[in-house]
Structure 1
Amino acid sequence: MARRAPNTALARLLVESGLNETQLARQVNRLAHEAGVATRYGQPSVSQWLSGTVPRAVARPLVAEVLARRLGRPVTPAELGFANPRTALPVSPTSYGRTVEELVDLVRSDMDPSRRGVISAGLYSVAQTIPGWPDIVGRMESVQTGYAHRIGMADVQAVSEMTERLSELDDRFGGQHARPMAAAFMANTVAPFLRADGPEEVRRAMLSAASFLCYLTGWMAVDEGLNGLAQRYYVKGLELAGASGDHLTYCHILRGMSVQAVDLGHGRSAARLADAAAAASPIATPRMRAFLAGQQAHSHAVEGDRRAALRNIAEAEAALDRADSQLNTFGGYNASTLAYHVAQVRYGTGDVPGSVQSLRLHFRLRDSTDSRRSRLRFGAMMAERQLEMGHLEAACASWHRVLDEYPDVHSGRVDERVARMGRLLGPFRSNRTARALGDRARELTA
């Protein structure tokens, strides 16, 4: 480890965070465990860092992430004084060739059983750098092809149609089945297409198709609970969307990243991403506006900004009332989705009964475009909130409906909800209805 002058940058951020040296060390160890890394830092380690000793490479992003989560904003290792600006390699978010090569490495690692455990353990970071649209739009730097193949619009259409089929499998069975197929398709078919020659119009269309496939693969990784991996796919999707000039997909991915953040409880980061998606949106159709405003409302509710949440949900309701087309929202934003967002805003602002009421409305309004996985997730969510209200019998009935379909859906997020059900039912084992439900769940998950 190299020695430096006292690290005033780290000291300043430590004071800003309100953590002492022992607390920082403990949180770094806790975060390392979350990422599947073994560390045993204590107060002396932090004292050494403050004196100028640079921690091991594996620890630097962990320290940055602890402080980022504490402060509610991105914090980079360089900001902590852990990088030498004179020797650090420049990072350009605009290199199309670099983006393709990094995507190839990502999907090959995802497919490699010997490396899958490493990349799956990657940490979700609120400090992740998100490339802005002006920085990446339309950049088409050359990439060495080495392929004789020349792509056409038929190849683009093949990628788009395959992505649709993968999305249908994901909706029906969950990401645990569909994501390995998506990664293999990207590595074996899409990556060579991205390196191939072709007219500029075709290459841009292929970049756009690949961007949305990256988003879908990231969404599947979220469903498996592989949040760090998902984040990497999302960022590659943003870069490809910028390279192709596909502003709509760029905004859609930002919104998806906000959904991931809010589900993990990072309200401030989720709000930042949702607001960025809304601000960058080039298409102001009413349904698209509702699509973005609903996610803003949910994020601000989790963040604790009641005024912004209520303002955004009212905007989503008004926009959906004006909507007359499903175009430009990647499947649309409908009344059932709005009811779900209203439920989340109500819950985030302390109205638990109102949240359950809105979830019931959501289920009455659902149609064939809504996935089976979301039906199970939201059904379990409603049961948890019914239990929070003290309605044990109603909660058990809702959970039984979830278990009816549970064996057919392979989803990490649904698994997590069912596991949580078991923990929540623990205090009610003396109740016959709760005991029967718990016994049924154990049989299904054995």
Structure 2
Amino acid sequence: MAKREPNATLGRLLGESGWSQGQFATAVNRVGTEQGRPLKYDASAVSHWLGGTIPRKEVRPLILEALARKLGRPIAHADAGFPSVGNQSNTRTATVEGLLELGRQDMDPSRRGVLGAALFSVALTVPDWPDVVGRMEAVQNGHSGRIGYAEVDAVVAMTEKLSELDDMFGGRQARPMAAAFLVNTVAPHLHADASDDVRKAMLSAASDLLYLTGYMAVDEGLHGLAQRYYVKALELAGAADDHLTFCTTLRGMSLQAVDLGHGSQALRLANAAAAASPAAGPRMRAFLAGQQAHAYAVTGDRRNALQLIREAEVAMDKAESRAAAFGSYDPSSLAYHVAQVQYGLGDLAGSVKNMEESSKLRHDVYRRTRVRYDAMLAERQLELGHLEAACVTWDRVLDDYPLVQSGRADERVAVLKSRLRPHLRNRAAQALFERAQAVSVPAAA
């Protein structure tokens, strides 16, 4: 029997991390818990890995992710001395084929649990604009007829309708429809014959839809799946020379990361979005700068956070009054970002004030957003010691919540109950808690 060779490569990474073997095991367990896969590794398991034992195939990505988070860079299988795995995504090839595979898996009820367990990775390799721009060769002509602008317009209109449904009812309702539309309609259009202008327009429309579908996956709490949709949106946006969707997607990825507590990765993505859009108009500049400011705030960089939120305010003042129907950034969104920056920098009272302003300015069609942001406002009102005001705000949340199918809204209502429990001697808190108890919050998947 051949003697195992020690994994010196993994040992070097562990040494670079500064972790003990026990700390390494704890970090891997933590990543597993995030994925819904509880692990109980200890220092002895790490000792076996260092001695040459190859971890189970499904555990290796968790080990790589833990190291990537600690070291601040992507760690591949070979970097850790693990066997390489096949079928790794390649952003330069098989654009439409990858879209089809992703959408078909998402449509298949038997695959939903597997997709939901996909790991959110802070070390995800995100293609830069030069890596994907103009890659028309990734989309091959087929023999499924010829498309024109009418088909492009239909995809755009369907995306807008799906976005409206998402705003009103949440991602859990709208995402299965989006996945089916991607597979059954959009992918065949991308294979069809078309003029260069029409093909680029269709790629751009498909990229918008992929971004929206990824955003809906975030809303459902399927963060690994959302990243796959986002990366595919970047590929198609580059193939279409569509700076707007490319930057919007990077910004969405930053928002996902900051909400999950990964500040440095959120900042990297927000800055990449801003750098990739040098000729952005004022509304887009406000959209990007607001997210940069939020990311700087959560990483503790007060100077840059305040500078960027001021840039967002100035840009919003210059923006045209007419907002785009899809993905627009309005004064309500800016007030929310100001509140997030203030909260990240420790100004709780200022944050509450601007969250209240955002709530007043928000359009009624954004019901799902209203549930989440009003719940966040109530949590901060309570943190400030304003129990009665928090109860009034939470009451509004429960008015809308039964109409929304959203994982993130479910989380906020669960938090509502936990935050109220210590205050049940207060009459308003007790009444609200009893109302909340009557609301069914789906169990975590």
TM range (shorter): over 0.9
Moved more, 148-157 or 27-36: 27-36
Q: Which amino acid aligns with 2:378?
A: A
Give structure 2 stretches of 5+ with no counterpart.
none
Instruction: Provide the aligned length of Structure 1 versus Structure 2.
Output: 440
Q: Deviations over 1:183-233 (max 9, x none)?
A: 111111111111222222211111111111000000111111111111110
Tell me the equivalent position of 1:225.
221
SS at 1:79's partner residue?
A: helix
Tell me the equivalent position of 2:92.
94
Tell me the equivalent position of 2:50.
50
Select which of 196, 199, 203 maps to 2:195.
199
Supply the distance in 1 between the matched residues of 2:240 and 2:317 (Cα, whole angstroms). 33
Give structure 1 stretches of 5+ with no counterpart.
none
SS at 2:355's partner residue?
A: helix
Supply the distance in 1 between the matched residues of 2:3 and 2:261 (Cα, whole angstroms). 37
Moved more, 398-407 or 278-287: 278-287
Q: Is the 8 A contact 1:138 1:243 kept in 2?
A: yes
Select which of 367, 382, 386 maps to 1:387.
382
Residue 24 of structure 1 deviates from its aligned partner by 1.9
Tell me the equivalent position of 2:394.
399
SS at 1:141's partner residue?
A: helix
Q: Does 1:155 align with 2:151?
A: yes
Supply the distance in 2 between the matched residues of 1:251 and 1:140 (Cα, whole angstroms). 19
Q: Is the 8 A contact 1:173 1:408 kept in 2?
A: yes
Q: Is the 8 A contact 1:241 1:250 kept in 2?
A: yes
Tell me the equivalent position of 1:104.
100
Tell me the equivalent position of 1:411.
406
Select which of 338, 344, 363 maps to 2:334.
338
Q: Does 1:361 align with 2:357?
A: yes
Q: Does 1:432 align with 2:430?
A: no
Moved more, 22-31 or 401-410: 22-31
Q: Deviations over 1:389-429 (max 9, x none)?
A: 11111111111111111111111111110001111112222
Residue 249 of structure 1 deviates from its aligned partner by 0.7
Tell me the equivalent position of 1:445.
440
- For 1:18-57, what aligned pairs fall within 5 Å after superposition? 18-37=18-37, 39-57=39-57
Per the alignment, do residues 420 and 129 of structure 1 end up closer, same or farther by CA in structure 2, a change over 3 Å counting?
same
Q: Which amino acid aligns with 1:389?
A: L
SS at 2:439's partner residue?
A: helix
Q: Is the 8 A contact 2:204 2:237 kept in 1?
A: yes
Q: Is the 8 A contact 2:142 2:193 kept in 1?
A: no
Supply the distance in 2 between the matched residues of 1:401 and 1:298 (Cα, whole angstroms). 26
Select which of 247, 268, 285 maps to 2:281.
285
Q: Is the 8 A contact 1:224 1:413 kept in 2?
A: yes
Tell me the equivalent position of 1:17.
17
Moved more, 319-328 or 191-200: 319-328
Q: Does 1:374 align with 2:372?
A: no
Task: Give the alignment's TM-score, normalised by structure 1.
Answer: 0.93
Tell me the equivalent position of 2:68.
68
Supply the distance in 1 between the matched residues of 2:420 and 2:12 (Cα, whole angstroms). 45
Supply the distance in 2 between the matched residues of 1:242 and 1:45 (Cα, whole angstroms). 43
Q: Does 1:214 align with 2:214?
A: no
Tell me the equivalent position of 2:309.
313
Supply the distance in 2 between the matched residues of 1:232 and 1:71 (Cα, whole angstroms). 23
Tell me the equivalent position of 1:263.
259
Q: Does 1:187 align with 2:183?
A: yes
Q: Is the 8 A contact 1:425 1:434 kept in 2?
A: yes
Residue 83 of structure 1 deviates from its aligned partner by 4.6
Q: Which amino acid aligns with 2:97?
A: E
Supply the distance in 2 between the matched residues of 1:101 and 1:88 (Cα, whole angstroms). 16
Supply the distance in 1 between the matched residues of 2:118 and 2:153 (Cα, whole angstroms). 33
Moved more, 338-347 or 137-146: 137-146
Q: Which amino acid aligns with 1:332?
A: S
Q: Share of identical aligned residues, percent?
A: 61
Moved more, 263-272 or 148-157: 148-157
Q: Is the 8 A contact 1:73 1:269 kept in 2?
A: no
Supply the distance in 2 between the matched residues of 1:366 and 1:440 (Cα, whole angstroms). 25
